[in-house]
Chains A and B, each alone.
Chain A
Amino acid sequence: MNLASFLPLKPVELQLLLALSEQELHGYGLVQHIDQQTDGVIRLEPGNLYRVIKRLLADGLVAESESRPVPELGEERRRYYRITPIGSRVLAAELKRLRSLLASAKARAVVKRWAT
């Protein structure tokens, strides 16, 4: 398995895998989680979310878990998603890539000069 062929991940994919790396989540849970993590920069709706999920499912990075009741919603059931082992490895590879990018001298200089 060539992990590098998956990289770089799109920001949405990265956030989604990150969210799932902590816990299994259903669609609405994912949206809320990502909204908080990115301060509302990445906002997902039924349209774009399931397109991304479909792609990640096809690539085998996430998998469907069973449908089960959501505690906050009473008896209503939702489908949960989980990250696969490959997904975790791809996520780790991407984070490593980003870390080395952030650690590069060039990146540091830019941040030092321009970030407020």
Chain B
Amino acid sequence: MTEQDRRHLAAFTLLQRLYPADFRRRFGADQRDLFRDQLREQRERRGRPGIALYWARVVPSMLRSALAEHVDSLRDRPARALSADLHPLRDSMLHSVLADLRFSLRMLRRSPVFTVVSVVIIALGSGAVTTTWSALRALVMRPVPGATQGERLAGLSLRNTENGREMTMTRTAMERLLVRNRTLTGLAGWNRSNATVQSDAGSVAVSSVQVTGGYFQVLGARAALGRVLTPEDDATVGARPVAVLSHLFWQTQFAGDPAVIGQTIRINRVALTVVGVMGPDFRGAMPIVSDDVYVPTAITTVLFGTRPAGTPEYVRPIGRLRDGVTFDDATRDLTSILASVAADPDERPEDRRRNSATATMLRAVPEDARGPFQGFLSILVGGAALVLLIASVNVASMLSARAVARAREMNVRRALGAGRWRLIRQLLIETLVLFAMGTAGGVGLAFMATNALEAVRLPVDRSPVIEITPDGRALLVSLGVSLFTALVFGLAPALQGAGRDVATRLRDNSAGAGQRRGIGGRLLIVGQLAASLVLLVSAGLFVRVLDEARRTHPGFATDGIVAASLLPGSWGYSPDRISSVLSTVKERAGTLAGVSDVAFADRLPMTAATSQASIEVPGHERVRSDGSVGGIEVSTAQVGDGYFRTLQQPMLEGREFTVGDLTGDAPVVIVNQTLARQLWPDGSALGRSFRIAGRAVTVVGVAGDARYNTVADAVPPVFYSPLNSTSNRFLVVRTAAPPAQAIGDLRGLMRSIDGDLPMPVISTLQQATAVGLFPQRVAAAATALMGGVGLLMAAVGLYGVIAYSVGRRTRELGVRMALGATRRDILLLTAREGTQLALAGTFVGLLLAAVATRFLQKLLYAVSPMDALTFAVTSSALFGVALLATWLPARRAAADSPMQALRTDG
């Protein structure tokens, strides 16, 4: 079964929940079988459209028969459970509800336009809520999937309270924690590296996770095939070359062949035996990035031979709480242990660097990145909720308009003896049916939207993988929200429709100017306009950020630069061979058509990839909390020769690094303008020196400022040192050739050097730097879409209100015209009401937006959340649209001739 089929089946299984438990137990599996068979048939016969058509048949049929089954089971129950004399009452009640239901369906079918429009509107709103809520839940709320009792799993984030950095920890420090702690039942560590799997079909880049022996045990995960890794696998260095595959990797590379157990795979040219395959649910300790293979940490040095022997092994720790222990208890316990290790001079220096740990529930997004994710997604959920609100309001006003239109029908039914409750119930059932259909559509939309979101890949080495398929709780939330809105907004028109006494209502049909539409309808319009404005202002602010980003010069050229991410650590070469291959790559890249400059760098600017380092400069010491004196924290990057020329980042003083600087390990640095100004405000930085980790270096050049995080951030102080190791790096190429051709050439070059190397990710610098503003792009698009839909609905609502009120006043207007009022007078008179509503909506919207946009601040960078231009433009746009919606029906009223107007009876 394909992944697609699985999703369809999951959706179908959710639908089945509608049935009584009895029925599900008996026929559930058979129903699913039939569903699968028919799905297959439709796909074979008609492809995607066939599947859509099939769903369109299945959903109503399931809804109908599930309802009928419930009715049957209710009918059977009283006979057994209730006393006999209650039975007839229950039965007649049931029958009348069913009759109402049938009548509702008939009424909805009789006005298909109304029904379809309402259902689509509700589906859009509830689909948006379900989608965004699912994403929020999957990423920052739910424990990691595939683990046993995931809510007891702790991710530890480590800090050095001196400089506040988040870090991994050495394996030995982790083992201290494991032995000494009193709050965890297990503790394990893991670390991720890029690796290459070689096979006859070619090489693929994989994400290899090195895990300590307790990893799977702590997570409580079992293998779907074979076994997981155990402490024995990790006991002796190099002793057991074994690997466990992730489900996805097994599917893509081994076509799901169960015979893979016991086979040999070659990772970084080292042969490992496959001992297990994980289940599809298991996604490791950090599910946002997908894992391919799991290997014991004990073979790390074998797989990644480029690391010098004796390099401490760093891992990210995860633990499982003991019963009755809270995350706070664990935090206190582990912090006290780390603090005592840090204070012990007998421990190795690298084991002493972390002195505090925070234990939080292990979730898809690691703790250090959760804040921004949560903020961003909350904004989207908020926006979606506003859209659902606007949608519900719109449907409510349509229902209310229908209630007025159906006043006659209601009166006749009341006159014939229907009770007030019965009429209200009838209208309520209609509303509920409408919202139920809308929500079902919304669920469908949510499934499509989350599928689309999951397919998004960023042009980076390990694009985040998100699994946000709506879960039961997300669906419940959506259902609850729609039900709530249905009841609140459905009840109002129902009461309005059935409230007054028969005599008034029967007379009501020939209304003159007297009865005006209730204050409720107006408030709804104002609310809709205001909510739309909040969304539009948000969209405007995000567009401003993107525009600002486009206009700010980043300090280097982004056009005509292509970057390839090389991961020599995963090539399985000796360090010498890596050096020679790297220089071949650079040399031959320089000869490609159109290429003018080539250089290496350990990171790309403006991709939010920065490292911090502490430097000691006389006169710039920082006093630590314990009174000792330390260096200052600055950003750092490593670049090769020709880097600044390639990126056209100007050298203000001095020179670039030369080949000699790189090979000779010369104690030279280049500082950026910001750092030069900060350290030596008067006089040149050239020839000055400072210390990095105790080693004195001399400034040989001052480079212009380039932005490192995102374009809208302030430029940090940066020093560049020569890139002289064999570590992972980017090859940056300045070329006059079209990007597609340049990328193709580079691919060919990599293939020609060694066909066994995995193909690196190659993109233009523009694509690579776009990742930094990805959240803003998504937010701008999402809020603009939601705001646009909201405004459209609000405008239609306003149009409806004005058209309705003009319609009711036709005769009055006729009289006025007959008495000498000009067309202009009539136009102004009728437009006044709408203008007032538009003004009120804009005003309230501005107030709300001023409050709401504060929450966006973190994503807005340099743009103020109160940006006057954005507020002015969006609110005038909204006001303009609202005026148009008013003006159209008003003009029609003014165009009527007085005689015509007087003759109408309504």
Contacts and interface: CB of A to CB of B under 8 A. Distances in A.
B668 interface: no
B609 to A, nearest CB: 49
Interface in A57-83: 73, 76, 78-79
A95 interface: no
A53 B61 contact: no
Interface in B20-68: 23, 26-27, 29-35, 37-38, 57-58, 61-66, 68
Nearest to B28: A50
Interface in A1-32: 26-28, 31
Contacts of B34: 27-28, 31, 45-46, 49-50
B68 to A, nearest CB: 7
A103 to B, nearest CB: 35
Interface centre among B29, B30, B57 (most CB of A within 10 A): B30
Contact of B27 (A45, A53, A73): A53
Nearest to A77: B33
Nearest to A29: B37
B62 A45 contact: yes
Nearest to B33: A78
B471 interface: no
B30 A51 contact: no
B31 A46 contact: yes
Contacts of B62: 45-47
Contacts of A73: 37
B69 interface: yes
A54 B72 CA distance: 11
5 contacts: A46-B12, A46-B32, A46-B62, A48-B65, A54-B26
Contact of A43 (B12, B23, B57): B57
Contact of B33 (A28, A43, A54): A28
B51 to A, nearest CB: 13
Contact of A50 (B27, B38, B64): B27
A32 to B, nearest CB: 8
Nearest to B16: A46
- Looking at A26, A51, A54, which has the most chain B CB atoms within 10 Å of its CB? A51
A107 B26 CA distance: 42
Given A47-B31, A51-B69, 20 more contacts: A26-B33, A27-B30, A27-B31, A27-B37, A45-B34, A45-B58, A45-B61, A46-B32, A46-B34, A46-B61, A47-B62, A47-B65, A47-B66, A48-B61, A49-B34, A50-B23, A51-B65, A54-B23, A76-B33, A78-B30
Interface in A64-114: 73, 76, 78-79
A87 to B, nearest CB: 18
A28 B37 CA distance: 7
Interface in B834-869: none
A78 B27 CA distance: 12
A46 B68 contact: no
Contacts of B61: 45-48
A98 B839 CA distance: 71
Of A46, A50, A54, chain B has the most CB atoms within 10 Å of the CB of A46
Contacts, number: 61
Interface residues of A, number: 18
Nearest to B37: A28
Contacts of A53: 27
Interface string B724-754: 0000000000000000000000000000000
A80 B57 CA distance: 24
The 5 A-B residue pairs whose C-beta atoms are closest, nearest first, are A47-B61, A28-B37, A47-B62, A46-B31, A27-B34
Contacts of B57: 43, 45
B33 A27 contact: yes
Contacts of A46: 12, 31-32, 34-35, 38, 58, 61-62
B578 to A, nearest CB: 49
Interface of A: 26-28, 31, 43, 45-51, 53-54, 73, 76, 78-79
B256 to A, nearest CB: 15
Contacts of A51: 65, 68-69
A50 B30 contact: yes
A108 B30 CA distance: 42
A51 B64 CA distance: 10
A67 to B, nearest CB: 9
A3 to B, nearest CB: 23
Contacts of A48: 61, 64-65
A46 B38 CA distance: 9
Contacts of A54: 23, 26-27, 69
Contacts of A26: 33
Contacts of A50: 23, 27, 30-31, 34, 65
A67 B502 CA distance: 62
A112 B810 CA distance: 58
A34 B313 CA distance: 67
Nearest to A79: B30
B1 to A, nearest CB: 10
A26 B30 CA distance: 9
A58 B111 CA distance: 39
A79 B775 CA distance: 50
Contacts of B32: 46
Among B29, B32, B33, the one with the most A-chain Cβ atoms within 10 Å of its Cβ is B33
A33 B12 CA distance: 23
Nearest to A30: B34
A45 B38 contact: yes
Contacts of B65: 47-48, 50-51
A78 B30 CA distance: 7
B89 to A, nearest CB: 25
Nearest to B68: A51
Nearest to B63: A47
Contacts of B58: 45-47
Q: Which of B27, B62, B66 has the most CB of A within 10 A?
A: B27
A27 B36 CA distance: 11
Contacts of A27: 30-31, 33-34, 37
A75 to B, nearest CB: 13
A30 B555 CA distance: 71
B38 A31 contact: yes
Contacts of B31: 27, 46-47, 50
Contact of A28 (B26, B38, B66): B38
Name, among A27, A28, A47, A50, the residue most crowded by chain B CB atoms within 10 Å (CB to CB): A47
A48 B57 CA distance: 11
Interface string B662-674: 0000000000000
A79 B65 CA distance: 21
